[in-house]
Amino acid sequence: MKVLFVHQNFPGQYRHVAPALAARPGYEVIGLGENPGEALPGVKHVRYKPPEVAGEATHRYIKRFESAVRRGQTVARAALALQGQGFVPDLICCHPGWGEGLFLRDVWPDARTLYYFEFFYQSHGADVGFEPPGRAVSVDEACRVRTLNSTHLLSLQVADWGQTPTEWQRSRFPDWARPRISAVHEGVDTRSIRPNPEARVTLPNGTVLAPGDEVVTFIGRGLEPYRGFHMFMRALPEVMRARPQAQVVVVGGDDPHYGSKPTDSPSWRVKLLAELEGQLDLSRLHFTGKIPHGQLQALYSVSAAHVYLTYPFVLSWSMLEAMSSECLIIGSATPPVQEVIRHGDNGLLVDFFNPDELAATLVRVLEKPEDYKEMRRTARRFVQARYDLRSICLPQHLTLIDAVASRRLPPKLPLFP
């Protein structure tokens, strides 16, 4: 069996399943991507050249689609090169969001295809028009958003079956597409991502944090409104005033990953620090930038309260990893989070747009940490029961792959309460 995984940032969501397949006798597994990624046992990593950039004259509605077509063309050329070397996949697993999957069917018409559909854009009910509350979405913006789905619509035609990580993300796709998309998460390695009472985190100023300290954590690949960074920052003055021993650790880069930079500042971090000038104790507010995963795990273990806010958009791995580490999650009452967090049971929910509520919740949690010990344990048990890599998600993913590869209808997976 020959399997090709295609992802711009390979391995991406295929970090666990690709080596699992490669470990099977008689399997040959190749990962195709643009950017360098970690080496996976048994998996050959092949890179394609970056595509040309869309021209300035391209209509703004279709700039992203033109980029996807260019990328798809580049990937098709890389696929033809693999074909010339004698590699003909039986199964292709592809994240088509950047256009990689557009033309793979034309290169290998007989291969079975399982595509990872991450998000289907709509002009209402999700990220577009979410902020500020009640903002009307113009017809011009609605038209642009509709065009964003061009790549996915073509990919839905190409794919034999689809995969998406959560039920809410699956619900965003058209009703005619949902029956051919399975909700299968990549999973959390709860054996290694677990609370560590010996964990220590040394901050750049020499402060050493340990479990039991008053540590508030916030994590985002990009510090931006999509992940509620601005609302989190606006909650901090009251938290720092009420809890003079609290240390706040913020992980993430200045470049947005989903939204755009502010028009009047080089980054949202700089903008919010300027807005809150004189209201924050900067000696207790620590921006780490992006950090290695091992350091992130240590940070989970010393966290007294972990804030996760998001627009109605894709759910971050970091929230589930934090839960697996018995972090106390204070999350936004938005659909991706509400699929996981049950308020008062395995975490706490607050209004995304209410920094005062977030601040009050943080202060309450920091004042009486003993009251939330069982909630922390429940969070880990929930992730173990629903998102554990080895016992739940990887077996589901392999079952889905085997069904698609053998031209069988994938089994209906259990829906969790």
**25: its two tokens:** 């006798």
User: Which tens digits make up the pLDDT trace of 299-309?
Assistant: 999 999 999 99
- Whether 161 is covered by a domain: the verdict is yes
The pTM is what? 0.94
CA–CA separation, 402 and 378 (whole Å): 33
Q: Is residue 196 part of a domain?
A: no
- Identity of the residue numbered 405: A
What are the CA-CA distances from residue 30 to residues 33, 80, 273 (Å)?
A: 10, 14, 45
Does any domain span residue 193? no
Q: Does any domain span residue 84?
A: yes
126 and 254 co-located in one domain: no
Range of the domain at 45: 2-187+388-405
CATH number assigned to the domain comprising residue 175: 3.40.50.2000
Residues 133 and 152 in one domain: yes
Residues 6+ apart with CB under 8 A from 371: none
Q: Are residues 120 and 137 located together in one domain of the fold?
A: yes
Same domain, yes or no, for 168 and 217?
no
Closest CA relative to residue 286, chosen from 320, 238, 252: 252
Tally the domains of the chain.
Answer: 2
Q: 305 forms bridges with which residues in the sheet?
A: 216
Both 238 and 167 in one domain: the answer is: no
Phi, psi of 37 (to 5 degrees): -135, 175
Task: Answer yes or no: do 113 and 245 share one domain.
Answer: no
Task: Looking at the structure, tell me whether residues 231 and 380 fall in a common domain.
Answer: yes
Q: Are residues 133 and 250 in the same domain?
A: no
Distance separating alpha carbons of residues 371 and 365, to the nearest angstrom = 8
H or E stretch at 114: strand 112-116
In Å, how far are 226, 231, 258, 274 from 234, measured between CA atoms? 15, 5, 21, 12
Q: Is residue 410 part of a domain?
A: no
Q: Measuring CA to CA, which residue among 131, 127, 102 is closest to residue 115?
A: 102
Q: Are residues 223 and 242 in the same domain?
A: yes
Judge whether 358 lies within some domain: yes
Residues 212 and 121 in one domain: no
d(CA 141, CA 29): 41
Cα torsion through 350, 355, 359, 361, rounded to 10: -10
Same domain, 371 and 394: no
The model's pLDDT over 70-101, given as tens digits with 9 standing for 90+, comes to 999 999 999 999 999 999 999 999 999 999 99
CB 249 within 8 A of CB 216: yes
In a domain, 292, yes or no: yes
pLDDT in tens, 332-379: 999 999 999 999 999 999 999 999 999 999 999 999 999 999 999 999
| Residue 225, domain member (yes or no) | yes
Tell me: do 115 and 239 sit in the same domain.
no
Which amino acid type is present at position 47? R
- Residues 364-389 as b/e (b if ≥16 CB within 10 A, e otherwise) read ebbeeeeebeebbebbbebbbebbbb
pLDDT tens track, the chain, 417 positions: 999 999 999 999 999 999 999 999 999 999 999 998 889 999 999 999 988 876 677 888 888 999 999 999 999 999 999 999 999 999 999 999 999 999 999 999 999 999 999 999 999 889 999 998 888 899 999 999 999 999 999 999 999 999 999 999 999 999 999 999 999 999 999 999 999 999 999 998 899 999 999 999 999 999 999 999 999 999 999 999 999 999 999 999 999 989 889 999 999 999 999 999 999 999 999 999 999 999 999 999 999 999 999 999 999 999 999 999 999 999 999 999 999 999 999 999 999 999 999 999 999 999 999 999 999 999 999 999 999 999 999 999 999 999 999 988 887 765 543
Structure tokens at 365: 């949690």
